[in-house]
């Protein structure tokens, strides 16, 4: 730190010289021998400007000095870690960032929730270092990443129970079957199924308000694949948003509403919403960590993943540190966010996959539905991926 000096003719020391201008010269080792060779000069504003200009000119014309400066800037906090994508994974990463900062890290991290599909578009264009995903990367996105030479590491971070919710004022619907969900949300229902008794004859003749994810949401893709057989097989005449908080408000404000999103958003808003059980061959199953872990909550349980840009990971210590921190604390972070944590031993395998930098997707561009935690993890750690998806 440069101290204030009262004497105008007091000599300007080397350390003071380094702190003149926009560059912090002590961080540039290549410049130190040059500065040390300079004579000790009297302090004078004009002289300081001249010295700064000389050093700036040297920095601009010396490849070695310029490279050293850029390398140190890249290793510091100048560039932010850009994270985007799934709103379902958002709470986990929000907890990760909070815990990372509480641990004393000051890296700038930019986190946005724009939907899984939008996140992959940005990621495969090189605009994100990490994409949050509530479904695996699909074949179209794999091709986009490949054409832009974006290699990535795919890491499972938690599991989710896709949750069907109604307003607490709804006294008639306690559970719903996948057939009823298909009858309500399939494309054939558009403009036709708009009352509760048209879904189930035992329900009242009341209007139904539909609230759900937009087309850029991975939840939209997964729900449609699980319920109607195709990721794009959905009616369009409903209130949609890629922001799950908007869907929460949509259902909470209308006693005739029904919607769907990830378990964590339901758990954070249980005072405003009520979850419906899913009718399965083995009975009605309520969305919960226990029903997901036991494999009973089918077909609406799914893995949550993050994808890391491999080139950025290799060159940025701050990204390495944050990603390792997130995986190493995944059990606690997922639980705190309201999602279903993976088994403790699995996070060690995820960290090993990160450490070994195993790139590519184990899902081969497919959108699997109804996998148990064990089945999904076996897919995620599959060492025999098809070559085109490595």
Q: What is the pLDDT of residues 68-122, one digit of tens each?
A: 333 334 444 458 999 999 999 999 999 999 999 999 999 999 999 999 999 999 9
Split at pLDDT 50, 70, 90, the class of 206 is very high
Whether residue 295 lies inside any domain: the answer is no
Mean pLDDT of 210-233: 95
Whether residue 53 lies inside any domain: the answer is yes
Which of 75, 103, 125 marks a domain boundary? 75
Give the number of residues written for the chain. Answer: 390
Which of 19, 46, 75 marks a domain boundary? 75
Measured distance CA(254)–CA(91) in Å, rounded = 25
Q: Where are the beta strands (DSSP E) in the chain?
A: 11-12, 41-42, 81-85, 109-111, 130-133, 152-161, 163-166, 175-177, 209-213, 239-241, 257-261, 274-275, 277-280, 283-285, 301-309
Cβ-contact 31, 69 below 8 angstroms: no
Whether residue 179 lies inside any domain: the answer is yes
- Please give the biggest Cα pair distance in the chain: 95
What local confidence, expressed as pLDDT, does residue 66 receive? 39
Whether residue 293 lies inside any domain: the answer is no
Mark whether 89 and 140 lie in a shared domain. Answer: yes
Mark whether 92 and 53 lie in a shared domain. Answer: no
What local confidence, expressed as pLDDT, does residue 382 receive? 63
Can you say how many angstroms the Cα of residue 72 is from the centroid of all Cα atoms in its chain? 27
Mark whether 179 and 269 lie in a shared domain. Answer: yes
Mean pLDDT of the chain: 83
Range of the domain at 34: 11-75
CA dihedral 324, 330, 332, 333 (to 10 degrees): 90
The helix/strand/coil state of 350 is helix
Question: pLDDT by residue (tens digit) across 296-347?
Answer: 999 999 999 999 999 999 999 999 999 999 999 999 999 999 999 999 988 9
CATH of the domain at 235: 3.40.190.10
Quick one: what percent of the chain has pLDDT higher than 90? Answer: 69
Total domain count, the chain: 3
- The full DSSP string for 241-294 is ES-HHHHHHHHHT-TTEEEEE-HHHHHTTTTT-EEPEEEETTEEE--SHHHHHT
What local confidence, expressed as pLDDT, does residue 213 receive? 97
Mark whether 239 and 263 lie in a shared domain. Answer: yes
Mark whether 17 and 36 lie in a shared domain. Answer: yes
The helix/strand/coil state of 154 is strand
Whether residue 15 lies inside any domain: the answer is yes
Mark whether 351 and 368 lie in a shared domain. Answer: yes
Mark whether 85 and 134 lie in a shared domain. Answer: yes
Q: Other CB atoms closer than 10 Å to residue 217's CB: what's the count?
A: 30
Mark whether 140 and 222 lie in a shared domain. Answer: no
Q: Other CB atoms closer than 10 Å to residue 243's CB: what's the count?
A: 17
Measured distance CA(70)–CA(329) in Å, rounded = 32
φ/ψ (deg, to 5) at 291: -70, -30
Beta-bridged to residue 12, according to DSSP, are 41
Whether residue 5 lies inside any domain: the answer is no
Mark whether 60 and 91 lie in a shared domain. Answer: no
Question: Is pLDDT at 19 greater than 70 in this prediction?
Answer: no
Which of 233, 254, 286 marks a domain boundary? 286
Whether residue 199 lies inside any domain: the answer is yes
Split at pLDDT 50, 70, 90, the class of 368 is confident
Cβ-contact 260, 165 below 8 angstroms: yes
Structure tokens at 43: 């302090």
Question: pLDDT by residue (tens digit) across 26-76?
Answer: 333 333 433 344 444 444 544 444 544 444 444 444 333 333 333 334 444
Measured distance CA(204)–CA(195) in Å, rounded = 8
Mark whether 274 and 342 lie in a shared domain. Answer: no
Mark whether 46 and 107 lie in a shared domain. Answer: no
Cα–Cα separations (whole angstroms), residue 70 to 13, 56, 62, 73: 26, 14, 12, 5
Mark whether 67 and 85 lie in a shared domain. Answer: no
List Cβ<8 Å contacts ≥24 apart for 202-206.
202/172, 203/172, 203/173, 204/172, 206/256
Report which of residues 1 and 241 the model is more confident about: 241
Whether residue 100 lies inside any domain: the answer is yes
Question: Is pLDDT at 160 greater than 50 in this prediction?
Answer: yes
Question: pLDDT by residue (tens digit) across 254-308?
Answer: 999 999 999 999 999 999 999 999 998 889 999 999 999 988 999 999 999 999 9
């Amino acid at each position: 730190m440069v101290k204030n000096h009262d004497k105008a003719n007091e000599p300007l020391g080397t350390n003071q010289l380094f702190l003149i201008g926009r560059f912090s010269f002590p961080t540039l080792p290549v410049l130190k021998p040059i500065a040390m060779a300079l004579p000790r000069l009297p302090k004078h504003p004009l002289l300081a400007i001249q010295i700064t200009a000389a050093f700036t000119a040297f920095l601009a014309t010396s490849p070695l000095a310029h490279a050293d400066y850029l390398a140190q800037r890249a290793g510091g906090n100048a560039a932010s870690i850009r994270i985007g994508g799934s709103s379902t994974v958002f709470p986990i990463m929000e907890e990760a960032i909070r815990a990372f900062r509480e641990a004393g890290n000051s890296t700038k991290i930019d986190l946005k929730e724009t939907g899984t599909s939008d996140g992959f578009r940005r990621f495969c264009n090189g605009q994100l270092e990490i994409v949050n995903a509530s479904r695996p990367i699909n074949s179209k996105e794999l091709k986009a990443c490949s054409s832009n030479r974006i290699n990535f590491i795919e890491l499972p971070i938690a599991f989710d129970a896709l949750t069907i919710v109604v307003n607490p004022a709804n006294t008639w619907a306690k559970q719903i079957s996948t057939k009823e969900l298909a009858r309500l949300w399939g494309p054939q229902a558009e403009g036709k199924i708009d009352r509760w008794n048209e879904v189930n004859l035992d329900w009242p003749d009341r209007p139904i308000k539909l609230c759900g994810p937009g087309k850029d949401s991975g939840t939209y893709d997964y729900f449609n694949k699980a319920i109607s057989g195709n990721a794009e097989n959905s009616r369009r005449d409903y209130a949609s948003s890629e922001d799950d908080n908007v869907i929460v408000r949509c259902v909470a404000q209308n006693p005739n509403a029904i919607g769907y999103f990830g378990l964590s958003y339901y758990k954070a808003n249980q005072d405003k919403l009520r979850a419906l059980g899913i009718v399965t061959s083995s009975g009605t199953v309520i969305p919960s960590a226990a029903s997901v872990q036991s494999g009973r909550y089918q077909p609406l349980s799914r893995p949550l993943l993050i994808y890391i840009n491999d080139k950025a990971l290799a060159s940025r210590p701050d990204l390495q540190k944050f990603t390792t921190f997130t995986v190493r604390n995944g059990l606690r972070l997922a639980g705190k966010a309201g999602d279903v944590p993976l088994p403790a031993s699995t996070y060690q395998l995820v960290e090993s996959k990160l450490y070994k930098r195993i790139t590519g997707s184990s899902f081969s561009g497919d959108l699997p539905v109804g996998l148990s935690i064990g089945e999904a993890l076996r897919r995620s750690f599959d060492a025999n991926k098809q070559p085109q998806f490595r």
